[in-house]
């Protein structure tokens, strides 16, 4: 194998791993502790935050800290600074009158470097309700798109990748025809041993990059299809994706915000159904067990897939994006990519955009989910605010469980990923 090919594969695998990775441990840590062990409060109940700065695990005295407390992503109720005379400081009590999340953000400078951390308290989180309204013709709109897709042949093409396969699994670079004549590309992993297997669709987080076959899951006896969403092969040189990130697909998630029929995600949402068409067409598929999983944008696509495709039996989502986008218009945090936030350069100014985006808001797909689901996230997520994904989670009227790792942000612990995988395997391979 050439050095360039080896390097490309190494970078691909790195990008796949780091999308799930937790932050690097640093010599200085800011520890912020809420006064409720479960980080949850009732409306009107005061929350206080104890703050310490540790260097090599030792509490530091005489360190100046800057802190802010307020609703997540909103103007803080309190901004102040204090010197830690006793190596610890406790804020005054702050509260919220409505369901939502109250965040304490702390920064400090030690040895010339700035450090930052945050902790978020949840208020009546099971009572958070969406800001977005469901369009009257929501189901008809998506049914029509899927019916249009169904008229197109699958036209699947498979390229075996021996160098990407394992002793138990064959890996393929795959494409098939999608909505509007587009192509869907992905990495397909199929167990080598003769038999029938459950299948999992893996939907991607935001970005433009190559993908690797999920041999770890496939080696356990599962067909896994890991897709991209941009209609381009997922095994090209890394420079191609970098050029697209800074060129034609830069900020793709803002394309045609105010047009229901031209929104970038119209093709993407419809094509998750076509990706499942490919999975269920495989002779190795067991004919009954289909699941979907993903995080962030992939968490959103997991919910969308579960809502649009009744063949799906189980779903596992991490911190879904694109949920309750118009929360900002009601004075609270909305979902990624935050186009309605104050001062956002892509902020759509027209009511037409608000109406059009309701067809793509994950909340409205959550209302349609009727299968068993596993959800996991943390309270400290700044990319996909917990207010937004609780607005979606709370309207799911189906068996569901949320496994909360409170201090995580837009990342996961290995134990968190393991718990999700174990749940999924317990359902599809009991």
Q: What is the CATH number of the domain that holds 95?
A: 2.60.40.10
- Per annotation, catalytic residue among 173, 230, 406, 410: 410
Last residue of a domain, one of 78, 100, 123: 123
335 lies in some domain: yes
92 and 215 in one domain?
no
225 and 323 in one domain?
yes
Q: In terms of residue numbers, what domain contains 403? A: 138-428
- Per annotation, catalytic residue among 19, 182, 296, 376: 296
3-class DSSP assignment, residue 302: helix
What would the two tokens of residue 359 be? 């067809």
CA–CA distance, 230 with 207 (Å, rounded to integer):
9
333 and 186 in one domain?
yes
3-class DSSP assignment, residue 51: strand
93 lies in some domain: yes
Question: According to the model, what pLDDT value does residue 296 have?
Answer: 98
- Average confidence (pLDDT) over 127-144: 97
343 and 234 in one domain?
yes
18 lies in some domain: no
Question: According to the model, what pLDDT value does residue 290 have?
Answer: 98
Question: According to the model, what pLDDT value does residue 430 have?
Answer: 74
CA–CA distance, 168 with 194 (Å, rounded to integer):
11
**Does residue 10 register a pLDDT over 90?**
no
Angle between helices 3-18 and 238-245 (to 10 degrees): 50
CA–CA distance, 91 with 59 (Å, rounded to integer):
17
95 to 71, 229, 379, 398: CA distances (angstroms): 9, 41, 16, 32
15 lies in some domain: no
The pair phi, psi for residue 286, each rounded to 5°, is -80, -5
Report the range of poorest mean pLDDT among 211-215, 241-245, 308-312, 348-352. 348-352
4 lies in some domain: no
131 lies in some domain: no
Residues 186/211, Cβ–Cβ less than 8 Å: yes
Strands 78-84 and 372-377: unpaired
Residues 328/342, Cβ–Cβ less than 8 Å: yes
CATH number of the structural domain spanning residue 207: 3.40.50.1820
**Confidence grade of residue 20 (pLDDT, cut at 50, 70, 90):** low
Residue in this structure with the two tokens 């093409």, named with its chain if needed: 157
273 and 307 in one domain?
yes
Bridge partners, residue 87, by sequence = none
To the nearest 5 percent, what fractions of the chain are helix, strand and coil? Answer: 30, 30, 45
**Does residue 41 register a pLDDT over 90?**
yes
Bridge partners, residue 33, by sequence = 50
Bridge partners, residue 90, by sequence = 50
326 and 419 in one domain?
yes
What would the two tokens of residue 68 be? 């802010």
* Other beta carbons less than 10 A from residue 45's beta carbon: 15
Find the helix or strand (DSSP H, E) in which 418 lies: helix 414-428
**Does residue 3 register a pLDDT over 80?**
no
Mark whether 407 is an active-site residue. Answer: no
End-to-end Cα separation, the chain, in angstroms: 40
CA–CA distance, 228 with 207 (Å, rounded to integer):
9
Mark whether 36 is an active-site residue. Answer: no
48-102 pLDDT, tens digit each:
999 999 999 999 999 999 999 999 999 999 999 999 998 899 999 999 999 999 9
394 and 348 in one domain?
yes
273 and 170 in one domain?
yes
The count of structural domains within the chain is 2
Question: According to the model, what pLDDT value does residue 373 have?
Answer: 98
356 and 217 in one domain?
yes
Find the helix or strand (DSSP H, E) in which 100 lies: strand 100-110
Return mean pLDDT, the chain: 94
**Does residue 286 register a pLDDT over 50?**
yes
- Residue 267 makes CB contacts below 8 A (sequence gap 6+) with 178, 179, 180, 182, 231
Question: According to the model, what pLDDT value does residue 2 have?
Answer: 38
**Does residue 340 register a pLDDT over 50?**
yes
- Per annotation, catalytic residue among 376, 381, 388, 406: 381
359 vs 10, residue with greater confidence? 359
34 and 170 in one domain?
no
237 lies in some domain: yes
Q: What is the pTM of this model?
A: 0.93
383 and 306 in one domain?
yes
370 and 274 in one domain?
yes
Nearest alpha carbon to residue 296 among 388, 184, 427: 388
338 lies in some domain: yes
Mark whether 143 is an active-site residue. Answer: no
Question: According to the model, what pLDDT value does residue 128 have?
Answer: 98
Question: According to the model, what pLDDT value does residue 161 have?
Answer: 98
**Does residue 9 register a pLDDT over 60?**
no
Nearest alpha carbon to residue 34 among 94, 109, 97, 96: 94
162-216 pLDDT, tens digit each:
999 999 999 999 999 999 999 999 999 999 999 999 999 999 999 999 999 999 9
Last residue of a domain, one of 89, 123, 157: 123
Last residue of a domain, one of 75, 90, 123: 123
CA–CA distance, 270 with 267 (Å, rounded to integer):
5
């Amino acid at each position: 194998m050439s050095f360039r090919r080896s390097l490309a594969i190494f970078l691909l695998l790195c990008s796949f791993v780091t999308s799930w990775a937790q932050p690097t441990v640093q010599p200085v840590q800011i520890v912020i502790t809420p006064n409720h062990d479960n980080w949850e409060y009732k409306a009107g109940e005061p929350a206080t935050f104890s703050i310490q700065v540790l260097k090599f695990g030792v509490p530091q005295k005489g360190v100046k800290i800057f802190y802010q407390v307020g609703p997540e992503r909103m103007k803080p109720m309190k901004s102040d600074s204090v010197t830690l005379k006793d190596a610890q400081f406790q804020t005054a009590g702050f509260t919220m009158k409505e369901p939502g999340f109250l965040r304490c953000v702390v920064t400090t400078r030690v040895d010339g470097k700035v450090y930052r951390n945050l902790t978020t308290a949840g208020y009546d989180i099971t009572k958070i309700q969406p800001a977005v309204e469901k369009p009257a013709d929501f189901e008809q709109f998506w049914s029509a798109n899927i019916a249009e897709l169904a008229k197109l042949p699958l036209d699947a093409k498979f390229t075996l990748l021996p160098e990407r396969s394992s002793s138990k699994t064959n890996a393929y670079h795959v494409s098939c025809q999608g909505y509007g004549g587009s192509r869907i590309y992905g990495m397909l992993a199929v167990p080598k041993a003769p038999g029938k297997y459950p299948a999992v669709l893996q939907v991607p987080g935001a970005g433009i990059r190559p993908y690797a076959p999920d041999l770890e899951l496939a080696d356990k006896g599962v067909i896994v299809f890991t897709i991209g969403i941009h209609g381009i092969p997922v095994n090209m040189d890394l420079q191609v994706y970098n050029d697209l990130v800074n060129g034609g697909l830069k900020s793709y998630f803002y394309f045609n915000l105010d047009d229901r029929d031209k929104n970038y995600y119209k093709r993407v949402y419809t094509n998750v159904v076509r990706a499942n068409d490919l999975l269920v067409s495989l002779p190795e598929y067991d004919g009954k067990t289909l699941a979907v999983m993903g995080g962030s944008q992939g968490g959103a696509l997991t919910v969308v897939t579960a809502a649009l495709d009744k063949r799906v039996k189980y779903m596992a989502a991490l911190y879904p994006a694109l949920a309750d986008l118009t929360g900002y218009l009601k004075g609270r945090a909305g979902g990624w990519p935050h186009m309605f936030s104050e001062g956002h350069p892509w902020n759509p100014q027209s009511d037409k955009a608000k109406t059009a985006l309701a067809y793509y808001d994950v909340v409205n797909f959550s209302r349609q989910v009727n299968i068993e689901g596993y959800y996991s996230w943390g309270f400290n997520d700044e990319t996909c605010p917990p207010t937004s994904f609780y607005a979606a989670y709370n309207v799911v009227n189906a068996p569901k469980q949320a496994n909360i790792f409170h201090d995580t942000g837009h990342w996961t612990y290995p134990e968190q990923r393991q718990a999700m995988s174990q749940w999924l395997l317990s359902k599809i391979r009991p």
